[in-house]
Amino acid sequence: MRRAQAKRLPRHRDNTSILSGNAYTLELLRGSDTQCIELMRMSREAYVRLCVHFRHKLWLHDSRHVSVEEKMAMFLTIIGHNERYVVTKRRFQHSSQTIHKYFHEVLAAMMTFAREMMVPSTFNPNPDSSGAHKSLRRIFKGIVGALDGTLVHAIIPASQQTVYRGRRKGKCYQNVLGICDFNMIFTFVYAGWEGVAHDSRVLTEVMAEPSNNSPFPPPSKYYLCDAAYTNTRGFMAPYRNVRYWLGDFRCRRAMTKEEKFNHAHAKLRNVIERAYGVLNARFPILDKMAPYPFNVQKNIVIACFVVNNFIRKEKINDELFAQYEEPQMVTEQVGQEERLSLQQQDHNGVQKTYNL
């Protein structure tokens, strides 16, 4: 025993800031709301409520030296600013191993939280409920939400990059399918598909697998989707080869009945564009993912959706949601042009395979 103790080297301490991680966290809790928003991408009220909720559910516990609030602050700093462990450890004055441990502890708790925060629609929409375009929603009877895919940057091993790699700057992406209601709350998310996968293929595969618990609408109910999807039961797409995007109607109003239908359809479906806009603005890690294992990358994407949903469901005043609240706001999804070109590439390849 003495020999083993004699060989034990003294621990080298390279974090020398006088502001410990605990002191930094207390400063966030007691400081200005602006500081909390800038550093953790949410208000102090939202941060406190989130920590209280995880304590109450017993998903997170104080450890000997790190509180729940500090663990959550580490996690939100990483996904809110795409920080690496080596940077975060200086901020919180812990080792990289400690940052790694608690990041994954919070991420695992977020996966449990996801089952609570992303609940499928009841399929009984109330025309008088909150949200934009109430009059249009009365006309589109049976509408229960909007559906769309988005591309999220991914780090993929070289041997698997072909089906994930895009044409623009050679980046790799995962295709994420999302469904939201008219309050910009996501009710279903499925992450991890190859970037070149066509949106309609992703939807078909996801809906066909019972274990995904995908919310397929009953008869007379449907989601709005864009022209990348098939117009079929449960999913209403716009007229093809007719003006559709909101920007197309800025200079010239809708003239034909097909254009009028597409314009109304686009106004309603724009809710998911705005929901993605809030999400991407809050979490830059979705635009430039860190080199985690791919299953961790998928979980990080889900966690971003979950935190966003929590802020919206708790009705907490939030600058980003206020910014994207305007129904007519035209947004540009991250990688939207890339997604369309990749889908066309995949569509051509699939057609060729089927014709064989």
Q: Using 50, 70 and 90 to split pLDDT, how confident is the model at 247?
A: confident
Q: What is the pLDDT of residues 96-136, one digit of tens each?
A: 999 999 999 999 999 999 999 998 877 765 544 555 566 67
Q: How far does Cα 131 stand from its chain's mean position?
A: 20
Q: Pairing mode, if any, of strands 222-224 and 235-236?
A: parallel
Kindly report which listed range (39-48, 266-275, 337-346) carries the lowest average pLDDT score.
337-346
pLDDT at 339: 46
Residue 269's pLDDT is 93
DSSP annotation string for 150-174: EEEEE---GGGGGGTB-SSTT-EEE
Q: What would the pLDDT profile of 128-158 be if each residue is shown by its tens digit?
A: 455 556 667 777 888 899 999 999 999 999 8
Please give the average per-residue pLDDT across 64-72, as a whole number.
95
CB 262 within 8 A of CB 231: no
- Gap between the Cα atoms of 324 and 96, Å rounded: 36
**Which of these, 52, 38, 44, 6, lies nearest to 26 by C-alpha position?**
44
pLDDT over 50 (residue 343) = no
Q: What pTM value is reported for the model? A: 0.85
Mean pLDDT taken over the chain = 84
Structure confidence at residue 169 as a pLDDT band (50, 70, 90): low
Is residue 261's pLDDT more than 60? yes
Res 328: pLDDT:
64
